[in-house]
Structure 1
């Protein structure tokens, strides 16, 4: 089975999309991550949902999880509000990583290896300069285990 057989339409966000809007999209559509596109509509990066969370969780809570316990419940429940006013561009890692993008002819094993190597729950599929969609970890696993 090839990427062309596994690809599905997938929503994208632009570099200047507000992070809060991107988080809403992740939640509303239960997405594992987002494809961030450049001005040409081609993948600039893949932003896993965990990366969006990393931006919203205060660094002191990430460094010492016990400190998260001291934040009262009311404020803890609203931690995503800290993303207001920030854009996806600001959320991206400073160091560029390997972009999880493949062509429609990639095999399931090639896609799985790319996901594993890049720690990405989705791989964008591009053909002749056009984004076709994505192969998600869930679709890949469903096919791999034969469900």
Structure 2
């Protein structure tokens, strides 16, 4: 399929469609994990059900959207966090042992990684608002709230897929 430069009328059509997208159009349901739950069953569920992540409720009742990056953080021993040279030196010897400690970890072990302000948007948030929150928080998941509470999450994958579905036809023959 040959690509061509988008014409101004194509760009206006795309802008109109993309600007109509709201968080409520992109929201995905994810399971809720309790602070004291074991991690391993949740990891299996997230992977097997192809979910973008899960929501975690901490002891203070605060909710956190937890994506794959935070889940993978659990695979590394603590002494390797933020230590790329040491991780490189460990190499394959440690790779076989990565999942070992997961059987004992609880969801609470995720919360120290998911500190600070929760990445969230209202259900009426525009694509631009969602992207701003994702980039500011370095988060692939953003919790979405409506008047009834948490509606789910918007994942960067779903956001890009929907935006690109509208943009791509504008630049193809």
Q: What is the TM-score normalised by the length of structure 2?
A: 0.70
* Correspondence 1:100 to 2:122: no
Cα distance between partner residues in 2 of 1:46 and 1:136: 10
Is 1:119 the counterpart of 2:141? The answer is no
Q: For residue 32 of structure 2, what is the aligned residue in structure 1?
A: 12
Tell me the TM-score normalised to structure 1 length: 0.80
Question: How much has 1:115 moved relative to structure 2?
Answer: 0.8
Structure 2: unaligned runs, 5 residues or longer: 1-20, 167-173
Indicate the residue corresponding to 1:144 in structure 2. Answer: 163
Q: Pick the aligned partner of 1:134 from 139, 150, 153.
A: 153
CA RMSD of aligned residues (A): 2.6
CA distance in 2, matches of 1:11, 1:134: 10
Note if contact 1:60-1:67 (Cα within 8 Å) is conserved in structure 2: no
- Compute the displacement of 1:128 (Å): 2.3
1:10-66 per-residue CA deviation (whole Å, 9 max, x = no partner) reads 2221211211122212321233432213589x7611222222222221244552123
Change (3 A) 1:61 1:71: farther
Instruction: Give, in angstroms, the shift of residue 91 of structure 1.
Output: 2.2
Correspondence 1:66 to 2:81: no
Which residues of structure 1 form unaligned runs of 5+?
none
Runs of 4+ in 1 over 6 A off after TM superposition: none
Q: Residues 31 and 94 of structure 1: is their aligned pair in 2 closer, same or farther, counting only changes over 3 Å?
A: closer
**How many angstroms apart in 2 are the aligned matches of 1:94 and 1:116?**
17
Which is higher, the Rg of structure 1 or of structure 2? 2
Question: How many residue pairs were aligned?
Answer: 143
